[in-house]
Amino acid sequence: MGRNVQYITFSIVYGIMIFIWTFVYLNKSKDKVNESFLGFLTVVILWMVLSISIAGDDISTLGLVLKTIYFYSMLNMAVAFLLFIYRFIGRKLDGLFYMSVTINTLTILARYLFPIDYADPTFWRLTDPVVAPVMSALFSLPAVFALMLIVRHYKMTRDGKLRTQLRFVLSGTGLACLISIVSEYILPAYFGLESNLSLMYFAILIFIVYIFRSIIKFKFLNIQSDYVYRRLFLNSGEGILIINRHLTIVSINNLAKEILENKAIEPGDKITQLIKTYDFDTNYKQQEITIVVESGEKYLTMTQHPIDPDDRDSTKLLVVNDITSAKLKLKQEKELLMKRSSIDPQTGFFNKQYMLDYDKAESPELGNTALLFIDIDNFKSINDLYGHLAGDSILKSVAECIRCSIGSEAQVIRFGGDEFVVIFANPGKDEAYLAAEAIRTKVNALNLPEHYGDLTLSLSIGLAEGRVPVRELITQADEAMYSAKSQGKNRTMKSLVRDVAVEKGGRQQSQLLEP
């Protein structure tokens, strides 16, 4: 009956152990907590399998080898559990750990000083009333030390979730240790009772249930931490940095290094060396910033929030995205749209709106500028006589003559119905006048269709040049153009604008000169 209970208990506990072991193994990573817990489970399962499978009367070489492995796995479970607790609470392996391992090892070796009956599967038990408790205490020392560490960490931590996890581990470990001591030491040594390891399996069952509950409910293990870390952090489609209260980078993924164009960034560097305007206390939401990197200016968006919202000093998760391409494309589209809105569809030249914008954007440090104000002579009469379609055709022809007579640096504006303005920045000597004459000559020599009869086109052009605002040049060139008309049309008239500033509130003076 006792043996049947042992088999049933073994089957239940073994099934749960294999489920947990498989679960942890399939989600294993390089995380030391996972690895140590998996190692502990492996030792426990090995011991369980050997405890149920070896025959007490098997004294063959294989049987003795299996019993020895069984012996060592049993006595090293406490050490494996201590290692797991060290990893779990984040404590580095220290002298106390190695002392516990040393004492456990020496105790195992010291056991060979006593006679061993290999026919008994519980040969490690000692019936001597004095030696048995001492040996039990020594073998249990790592597990007891692990419990002390759990209690100490439980009292020190402020993290509510961690306290709950520790409470579950403490409860399960305490019950498991208590039952195992009763089953394997107290009952056999003092009362001569045999539980055939059923109580030991039950102790393991309690331990597994508590740990498993902690895994499922509180995510005690870092499940798939390697997968999650690499896929969601290192290989994220966004640049991610983890920043602490001291503005120090705790961690940074690959894309963030690419965005910030600094492959040398490492944890421990200051975030303010990369983003000058960064503020730890600000929870950014798609905040647009501009930074200067090796390739030039870069436009980024920043989003930041605390990892633990309840902790004011919690590390922050900073997400950065590179919007430089989108920003430049938007800027180009805006410029294209503005350009299109500033282009005269009939001639392809800039329109008057562009002229106004040009005037607003003009640099306060004025350079030498020349400006032509061109008007088609008798254009209203041409429109009245030949119609507006003919007038449009003539406008295009005149525009082509202007285009062919000036350099690529000059800007042409259709200022009004039949009026054009040409602006030359820092022109050469007589460059503007020669261009005006070339335009006028070409227009005058245009061969118009026969239905225009003997119509000949001519232009009146005013020219103004000086270191004054464009709007002032327009005024002076316009006056010169009207002067050209009043003197017979089909000519270029210069307006000499003085470059000497007049008293505040005064106007620039000019003289009209006919070439």
Per-residue pLDDT band for 388 (boundaries 50, 70, 90) equals confident
Judged by phi (left if over 0) then psi (alpha if -120 to 50, else beta), residue 131 lies in: alpha
Q: Note whether 226 and 29 are within 8 A (CB).
A: yes
Cα(24)–Cα(52) distance, integer angstroms:
24
Residue recorded with tokens 């049947």: 4
Residue 92 to residue 492: CA distance in whole angstroms: 92
Buried residues in 26-49 as b, exposed as e (16+ CB within 10 A):
ebbbebebbbbbbebbbbbbbbbb
- By mean pLDDT, which of 48-57, 99-108, 217-226, 247-256 is the weakest? 217-226
What pTM, to 2 d.p., does this model score? 0.44
| Sign of the CA dihedral with 478 first, then 480, 481, and 485 last | positive
Mean pLDDT of 358-384: 82
379 vs 499 pLDDT, higher one: 379
Please determine, for residue 329, whether its predicted confidence score (pLDDT) is greater than 80: yes
Q: Give per-residue pLDDT as tens, 230-240.
A: 666 777 788 99
pLDDT grade, residue 312 (50/70/90)? confident
The answer to which of 40-44, 344-348, 358-362 has the lowest mean pLDDT is: 358-362
State how far the alpha carbon of 396 is from the alpha carbons of 347, 348, 414, in Å: 6, 9, 11
Relative to beta strand 459-466, strand 491-497 is: parallel
Predicted local confidence at residue 182, as pLDDT: 80
Residue 469 and residue 359 in contact, taking contact as beta carbons nearer than 8 Å: yes
Between residues 373 and 225, the one the model is more confident about: 373
pLDDT at residue 360, rounded to an integer:
66
**Residue showing tokens 């640096």:** 409
Mean pLDDT for the stretch of residues 314-333: 89
Q: What does the pLDDT read at residue 55? A: 57
Residue 74 CA: distances (Å) to CA of 52, 139, 140, 386, 417: 13, 10, 11, 114, 103
State the angle between helix axes of 61-89 and 131-156 in degrees (0 to 180), rounded to the nearest 10: 30
Q: Does residue 490 surpass a pLDDT of 80?
A: yes
- Per-residue pLDDT of 111-151, as tens digits, reads 666 554 444 444 444 454 444 456 666 667 887 888 888 88
CA distance 5 to 432: 112
The SS3 of residue 467 is: coil
Fold of 342-513: Alpha-Beta Plaits (3.30.70)
pLDDT, residue 115, reads: 53
The predicted pLDDT at position 177 comes to 73
Mean pLDDT of 260-270: 88
What average pLDDT does range 241-256 have in this prediction?
Answer: 89
8-state DSSP, 273: G
The pLDDT of 445-465, averaged and rounded, is 88
Region 340-344 average pLDDT? 79
Lowest mean pLDDT among 20-24, 171-175, 485-489, 511-515: 511-515
pLDDT score at 436 = 95
Topology agreement, domain 2-222 and domain 342-513: no
Catalytic residue (one of 128, 418, 454, 499): 418
What integer is the mean pLDDT of 343-367? Answer: 77
The letter for the amino acid at 412 is V
Domain ranges of the chain: 2-222, 236-328, 342-513
Length reported for the chain:
515
When comparing pLDDT for 13 and 491, which is higher? 491
Fold of 2-222: Rhopdopsin 7-helix transmembrane proteins (1.20.1070)
Distance CA 472, CA 458 (A): 26
Which CATH superfamily groups domain 236-328?
A: PAS domain (3.30.450.20)
Q: Is 418 in the active site?
A: yes
In the three-class reduction of DSSP (H, G, I as helix; E, B as strand; rest coil), residue 373 is classed as strand
Average pLDDT over residues 51-75: 74
